[in-house]
Amino acid sequence: MAVNIGEVPIPDLEPENGPELAYGTLVHDLGSLRHLDSWAPIFASFRVEQIPRGEFVPAEIREQWVGVDVPVRFTALIEAGGIELGDDDAVLSLLASGKIDAAKWFVEHRQAGTPGWMFHLSEGILTDSRETGQEPMTSIEYYGLSLEQEARERLENPN
């Protein structure tokens, strides 16, 4: 069963197609992230190393977070030991890691008015690009990192 992220359907495909699906979805439909980039660019990444806690997300979905890199845009919760992840970044991170079924679950169970998803710092590894002197990046840059230039160009200009 395909579900939509905005206007873009998430088809049933193989996990190795996830990075291209995430990037293509971002390029063609997620203007909300491009707006977010203007005031909250990505300055770090967080690799989930343990099954995250969660009361309302099924265990089989939470298990799929292990090994997924997520962008970090907000600093407020880091000092308190947490990472906040918006809905669109959650879905794109799962897609980019080939976790298609988990991405579909998160699309189907978005909750209007909630800030997004939360990870505890103890559940993974935080890599802050500012510590190495790198500039913050946009969503296009972040999700395009794993793709060859040819694939990015094909997705940006499908005609």
Any idea what the Cα angle at residue 72 is, between residues 69 and 77, rounded to 5°?
125
Three-state SS for 11-28 is CCCCHHHHHHHHHHHHHH
pLDDT in tens, the chain (159 residues): 444 444 445 445 555 555 555 555 655 555 667 778 888 899 999 999 999 988 788 999 999 999 999 999 888 888 899 998 888 888 888 888 888 888 888 877 776 555 678 899 999 999 988 888 888 988 878 877 766 666 656 656 655
The tokens for 46 are 């967080």
pTM: 0.77
